[in-house]
Amino acid sequence: MSQAQLAGPDLSDSYVSLIESGKRTPTPVVARLLAERLGCTTEFLLHGIEPRQRIDTELGLRHAELELQHGDPYVAAERFGEIVKVAGEENAMLAAHARFGRARALESQGRIGPAVEAFERLRREAASHPERLADLPLTVALSRCYQHAGDTLRAYDLATAALSQVERLVLNDGEIAVDLAAALMETEPARRPHSPGLDYVRHVLSANGVPVAVNRIAEIRSLWEASIAAAEGEDSALAVRLADDAIAAGRPARLAFRLAHIAMDWSQLIVSFDTESLDEARELASAASKVFGTFPEKAHDHTRSLVVLASIQLSGGDPSGAADLARSALMMPDALLGVTAATAQMVLAQVSLATGEGDTVTILHSARELLGSLRPGTSGPDREAARVWRRLGDLYGQAGAGEEQVSAYRKALETAGVRSAMVGMTVDSALVR
């Protein structure tokens, strides 16, 4: 069929030529007219995919998303990959969303290198095709991944770039804003409450608070299973609707978890710089603890929140309350090993220093054993563990244990990725701050 035949009496040959070359997009009326003359559906003409195939692909995207949020990220990555193959080049938008999902699944698995490669590729494509994927969520995701990989400068640059975008949009609410606030909390190098990045974190916390989270996992599972059953019964439209309902049911809790993490980090930060804000810090940390305490799978975060509250109590001059919270944290099921348990022991050591009761050095030895049991990270320096080692060195110094202090500082440097061949050197605590 020639362009003139396709144009017929209703369209000009030149207009059909512009559509064919991609320089014009047909209106819905023109699209229906062209599809009728070409003997295909409007859906296929516009998207390169038939309606039934499209809705099945949309359903596959939703089920993969549910697998990522509430199931197995390895299975999610496989399903997103299958959708990429099905969508193909003919349906670039669906393929892009599937590739974005697969990148997030890789990140969730801890495969940061492949995730970064996937996000970077999508970000380059988003610059050329903004109709497929937005750049902002990709920038935030990349900042998060680079931070986890130990490239803090690149992470900070990306978070700053994202911040300039959201400031133009005056965006303080929603998932993108919360994700960016979390990235800024991790990447801000100055860690001062009044830096531009942390000012934005304050705005996000003020706008959203730490909402009460309801455990709706049973409802989500029920909707998910009903969606699968509807798909097996070839009622794809109902299956998509049920999957959307399942995703929506889980969204408030996901947002609450992210805000609770931000609130914990923020409360620790403001206490270290502004002891007059203890009430604000206590309120935020308590709200975070309630969120995590509602979900059994968040036991580790709940334990950490108790340690944060213990530190706040100690800063507020309540060593007895701090000790009770630290002991409660150590009694949690997941508190046998790790940085969180070591931090709880260090709170007890601070209580010992403040009250003069107990053997401070022995308590610090317990914290050192917990830190020593950690396996070295495979993705690079562990900045959180390095900070805890440094703090352990400070406490050894306050307890008068000089040799243990120097040993802890050396371990802090090693954990941060710095190794020295100078045996016997004295390490200043400022180097590992």
Q: Which CATH number goes with the domain that contains 420?
A: 1.25.40.10
Residue 193 binned pLDDT confidence (cut-offs 50, 70, 90): low
Helix axes 135-149, 112-128, angle to 10 degrees: 150
Give the torsion sign (CA, 109, 110, 116, 117): negative
Q: At what angle do helices 299-315 and 236-273 cross, to 10 degrees?
A: 20
Query: Average pLDDT of 384-397?
Result: 91
pLDDT at 326: 94
For the segment 238-242, the average pLDDT, to the nearest whole number, is 95
With 70 as the cut, is the pLDDT of residue 219 above it?
yes
Domain boundary among 188, 221, 252: 252
User: pLDDT for 160-183, tens place per residue?
Assistant: 999 999 999 999 999 999 999 999
Please determine, for residue 246, whether its predicted confidence score (pLDDT) is greater than 90: yes
User: Mean of the pLDDT values across residues 380-390?
Assistant: 79
Domain boundary among 233, 252, 271: 252
Indicate the pLDDT class of residue 140, thresholds 50, 70 and 90: very high
Q: Are 179 and 328 members of one domain?
A: no
| 34 falls within a domain | yes
Same domain as 195, residue 101? yes
Report whether pLDDT(9) > 90.
no
Full-model pTM:
0.79
Mean pLDDT (whole number) for 226-241:
93
Place of tokens 């199931």: 71
Q: How confident is the model at residue 425 (pLDDT cuts 50, 70, 90)?
A: very low
- More confident of the two residues 1 and 281: 281
Same domain? For 33 and 134 the reply is no
pLDDT at position 431? 40
Q: What domain range includes position 428? A: 295-432
Does residue 395 form part of some domain? Answer: yes
| Tens digits of residue pLDDT in 294-326 | 998 898 899 999 999 999 999 889 999 999 999
Q: How far apart are CA 3 and CA 409, in angstroms?
A: 76
Q: Which of 374, 15, 89, 54 has the alpha carbon at shortest distance from 240?
A: 54
Residues 235 and 354 placed together within one structural domain of the fold: no
Are the CB atoms for 205 and 227 separated by under 8 Å? no
Q: What is the pLDDT of residues 142-161, one digit of tens each?
A: 999 999 888 889 999 999 99
pLDDT at 337: 63
Sign of CA dihedral 262, 264, 267, 271: negative
110 and 194 assigned to the same domain: yes
Co-location of 25 and 74 in the same domain: no
Contacts of 314 (CB under 8 A, 6+ apart): 322, 347, 350, 351, 354
Q: Is the pLDDT of residue 217 over 60?
A: yes
**How many beta carbons lie within 10 A of that of residue 21, not counting itself?**
8
Q: Within this chain, do residues 65 and 146 fall inside the same structural domain, yes or no?
A: yes
Region of 170 on the Ramachandran plot (φ > 0 left; ψ -120 to 50 alpha; else beta): left
Q: Give the pLDDT score at 419.
A: 53
Give yes or no: residues 192 and 327 share one domain: no
* Model pLDDT, residue 191: 56
The pLDDT of residue 190 is 57
Query: Which pLDDT does position 192 carry in this prediction?
Result: 61
Q: Which residue has the higher pLDDT, 349 or 90?
A: 349
Residues 12 and 61 in one domain: no
Model confidence at 423, pLDDT cuts 50, 70, 90, reads very low
**Number of domains present in the structure of the chain:** 3
Contact 123, 139 (CB under 8 A): yes
Q: Is the pLDDT of residue 433 over 80?
A: no
Distance, CA of 44 to CA of 38 (rounded, Å): 11
User: 235 with 367, same domain?
Assistant: no
Model confidence at 400, pLDDT cuts 50, 70, 90, reads very high
In a domain, 282, yes or no: no
Share of the chain above pLDDT 70, in %: 89
SS3 string of the chain? CCHHHHHCCCCCHHHHHHHHCCCCCCCHHHHHHHHHHHCCCHHHHHHCCCHHHHHHHHHHHHHHHHHHHHCCHHHHHHHHHHHHHHHCHHHHHHHHHHHHHHHHHHHHHCCHHHHHHHHHHHHHHHHHCCCCCCHHHHHHHHHHHHHHHCCHHHHHHHHHHHHHHHHHHCCCCHHHHHHHHHHHHHHCCCCCCCCHHHHHHHHHHHHHCCCCCCCCHHHHHHHHHHHHHHHHCCCHHHHHHHHHHHHHHHHHHHHHHHHHHHHHHHHHHHHHHCHHHHHHHHHHHHHHHHHHHCCHHHHHHHHHHHHHHHHHHHHCCCHHHHHHHHHHHHCCCCCCCCHHHHHHHHHHHHHHHHHCCCCHHHHHHHHHHHHHCCCCCCCCCCHHHHHHHHHHHHHHHHCCCHHHHHHHHHHHHHHCCCCCCCCCCCCCHHHHC
| Final residue before a domain boundary, out of 252, 280, 307 | 252
- Indicate if 70 and 116 belong to the same structural domain: yes
pLDDT tens across 47-106, in order? 666 566 778 888 999 999 999 999 999 999 999 999 999 887 767 888 999 999 999 999
pLDDT of residue 48: 63
Same domain, 245 and 377: no
Which of 103-117, 390-404, 419-433 has the weakest average pLDDT? 419-433
189 band by pLDDT with thresholds 50, 70 and 90: low
In whole angstroms, what is the distance from residue 226 CA to residue 62 CA?
A: 13
Say what the pLDDT of residue 131 is.
79
Q: Which has the higher per-residue pLDDT, 383 or 363?
A: 363
